[in-house]
Structure 1
Amino acid sequence: MRRTTLAATGLAVVAVLALSGCKSGNEEADAAKTTAPSAQPSQSAQQPGASTAPSASASAPAAGGSGATATAGQKFALGEQAQFPFTSGSTKGTITLAVTAIEKGQPADLAPFKLGDKVKGMVPYYIRYQVKNVGTTDLSFASVGHIKGHLGDDSEAQELTVIGKFEKCPNNSLPKGFTNGQVMSGCAVALAPSAETKVASAEYWGDPFTLGKGLVWK
C-alpha cells in the first residue's frame, strides 16, 4: 500500500492532502515533501521567528510530566505530558509534548485551500498541542511535526499539511531562543471523512517513534 499526496494552492497558504496508506516511519513525511509541486513554498520558506499564538485550550499548564521517558505505544489523557528525546534534522534535545485538545472545525474552514471535491464531505479537526523544552539544547527553528489523528475505530484520519498562515490552526517552527523551560503551542489538522465520524485521538510518531507505535492521546 502507498500514500498519495494531493496539493492545492490557496491565496495565502498551501495545503497538502495526504491519503492514508500503509507506509510507516518518517518516510511518510519525506514522501509528502518530495511529491509536492516545486512551485509551492517549502516549510523552510516560512518565517522561522514568527510567533505562534497560543490556543485557548493550551492556556493552562498540561498535567502529568513525571520526568520518566515515554515509551512506544504509551497512551495519555488529553493534557498529559509525555517526555522523550527529540530530533529534528541535526537538532537533538529533550521535550515534553501534550496534546491539549482535539477540536471539531467546519467543512467551510477548508475553502481557502481550494481542494474542491478532494475534501467534499470531510470535516477538519484541530489537534492542539503544547511543547516544552526540558533539555539543555537550544531548539530554535526546529519543527515538531509527525502528529496525526485517528478515527474512533483507530484507523488513520487523513492529514492536511498546511504551509503558511492558517489562523484556525497555527503551526510554526519553534521560535528563536527556544531554550530550557520555553513553551510553545501548535496545531495539526486531521480530516474526518464525514460529519458522522470524528477524530477521537492523536498520535505523535516522530523520531524515536514510528507510525502506529507512537505516543497516543485520547
Structure 2
Amino acid sequence: MSTISMRKSTLVAVAVAVAGTMALTGCKNGNEDPVPAQPTTSAPGGAPASPSAAASPSTGGSEASAGAAGTAKSGQAFKLGETATVPFDYGSNKGGTIALTVTTVEQGNPADLDSLNLGDKVKGMVPYYVRYTVKNVGTTDLSYSTVGHIKGLFPDGTEAQGVSVIGKFEKCKGDSLPKGFTNGQTQEGCAIALAPSAQTKVSGAQYWGSPYNSLSKGNPLTWK
C-alpha cells in the first residue's frame, strides 16, 4: 500500500512493510528529520507487532458497512480496470464514498529501488507498480485524505511485500488527495509491490481498508 506524505520535497524516508502488515504513515508537516528505513512485522492475525506499525486512521467518522448502498461487498473480486464503489473513512470527520479502480500492474526494474537506499533488504527483488484511480462519488470533501491499503498479489493470491515511502518516488507517485477533492474529482495513485525474483510476478492487487479488513470482520477486495 502506498503510504503518502503531503510534503513536496524529495524522498526522505522509506520503510519496508512485510506482507501481512497493516502499517500506515500519516501526513507530515514538511519539517521532519529524515527517518531511516525500518522493517515492520505483524503479529498472528495481522495486528501490528510493535508501535512502529501504525494503526489505520480510518476508525471514526461515518464509515458504512461493506455492500451498503451499492458499495462493494466484502471479499468481492474485480478484473483489472473494473471499478469498486467503496465506503471511505479518514479520521473522525472524513467519511465519504469513493470509486476505486486498479488500472494496471506494471513491472519495474530492480535498479528503480536504488534511490530508496534499502540495500540488502531488497536485493534480488523486482518492483511492480500497482496503479489505480480514486474518484470522489460522495458528498464529503476528502481534501488531504490518503487512500492507501493497496497491496500487490501474486497469481496464487498471496500478498507481495510492499514498500512504504515518505516523500517522492518518481516511478510510483502516490500523493494525498488534493485540496478541493469534492464530488466528481479524480486522482491517480500508485503502490509499490516487490517480487522476490524475476521468476515470480505480481499480477493483481487488493484493497484492505476498512470495512474490508479483518479488524472490521471483512475481507479485502481483489483485482486480477
Q: TM-score scaled by structure 2? A: 0.73
Counterpart residue number, 1:82: 84
Given that 2:17 and 2:23 are in contact with CA atoms closer than 8 Å, whether structure 1 keeps it comes out as no
Matches within 5 A, 1:45-84: 45=29, 68-84=70-86
Is 1:168–2:164 an aligned residue pair? no
Matches within 5 A, 1:111-190: 111-190=114-193
* Identical residues among aligned pairs (%): 59
Given that 1:14 and 1:164 are in contact with CA atoms closer than 8 Å, whether structure 2 keeps it comes out as yes
Q: For residue 45 of structure 1, what is the amino acid of its counterpart?
A: N
Q: For residue 89 of structure 2, what is the amino acid of its counterpart?
A: T
Instruction: Determine which structure has the larger strand proportion and give its number.
Output: 1
C-alpha RMSD over aligned residues: 1.9
Q: How many pairs were matched up?
A: 174
Given that 1:46 and 1:164 are in contact with CA atoms closer than 8 Å, whether structure 2 keeps it comes out as no
Q: For residue 98 of structure 1, what is the amino acid of its counterpart?
A: T
Counterpart residue number, 2:17: 18
User: Unaligned stretches of 5+ in structure 2?
Assistant: 1-9, 32-68
Matches within 5 A, 1:201-216: 201-210=204-213, 213-216=219-222
> 1:44 Cα deviation (Å)?
2.2
Q: Map Cα deviations across residues 104-132 of structure 1 (whole Å, 9 max, x no partner).
A: 00000000111111101100000000000
Instruction: Determine which structure has the larger helix proportion and give its number.
Output: 1
Q: For residue 76 of structure 1, what is the amino acid of its counterpart?
A: F
Counterpart residue number, 2:41: none
Is 1:200–2:203 an aligned residue pair? yes
Q: For residue 15 of structure 1, what is the amino acid of its counterpart?
A: V
> 1:46 Cα deviation (Å)?
5.5
User: Unaligned stretches of 5+ in structure 1?
Assistant: 1-10, 34-41, 48-66
Q: For residue 79 of structure 2, what is the amino acid of its counterpart?
A: A
Q: Map Cα deviations across residues 135-190 of structure 1 (whole Å, 9 max, x no partner).
A: 00000000000000111221110010111111110001100000000000000000
Given that 1:13 and 1:166 are in contact with CA atoms closer than 8 Å, whether structure 2 keeps it comes out as no
User: Which stretch of structure 1 is more off in the superposition, 12-21 or 108-117?
Assistant: 12-21
Match of 1:43 among 18, 27, 43: 27
| Structure-2 separation of matches of 1:168 and 1:44 | 21
Is 1:108–2:111 an aligned residue pair? yes
Given that 2:108 and 2:127 are in contact with CA atoms closer than 8 Å, whether structure 1 keeps it comes out as yes
> 1:206 Cα deviation (Å)?
0.3
| Structure-1 separation of matches of 2:177 and 2:30 | 12
| Structure-2 separation of matches of 1:46 and 1:142 | 16
Is 1:29–2:29 an aligned residue pair? no
